[in-house]
Amino acid sequence: MARPRTAPRTVDHPDLAQVGLQQVMEALVDPVRRMVVSQLVRKGEDMSCGTFEVPVSISTLTHHFNVLREAGVIRQYYVGVTKMNTLRTEEMGERFPGLLPAVIAACAEEAGSDVG
């Protein structure tokens, strides 16, 4: 039987109007998740799940992606067998003005210190 051509693997994303500050803060409080956000910013383009440099196992990383997606921080979509990730920068900027940029800037500043 023919496999369905449409919507092979879909991903649910919340409307940011339904995301609370608590959820976003909980998403951004974890250092591994902030690494993900930072690397997305630094790279400047969408990244597949497997290309992040994080000090945790793959299954744990999946968990972190779920948290970030459910908090509306990232958007995910499948490309073949890989899953791509992108920041929902603009939408977040409308929902929580200045929050994401401030956190990203702080990350970058701290990373800058110890990268030396």
Give the count of alpha carbons within 13 A of 38, CB side only. Answer: 19
* Lookup: tokens for 70: 């459910």
Q: Of 14, 21, 43, 62, which lies in the binding site for DNA, with binding defined by CB under 7 A?
A: 62
**What mask of x and - would describe binding to DNA in positions 24 to 43, judged by CB under 7 A?**
--x--xx-xx----------
Question: Which CB, 8 or 112, lies closer to a second copy?
Answer: 112
Report what 32 binds from DNA, a second copy, none; CB cut-off 5-8 Å by kind.
DNA
What is the sign, positive or negative, of the torsion defined by CA atoms of 13, 72, 76, 66? negative
Question: Which CB, 84 or 99, lies closer to a second copy?
Answer: 99
Please, are residues 49 and 61 in contact by the beta-carbon 8 Å criterion?
yes
Give the nearest distance from C-beta 15 to DNA in angstroms: 20
Which residue bears the tokens 């400047």? 44
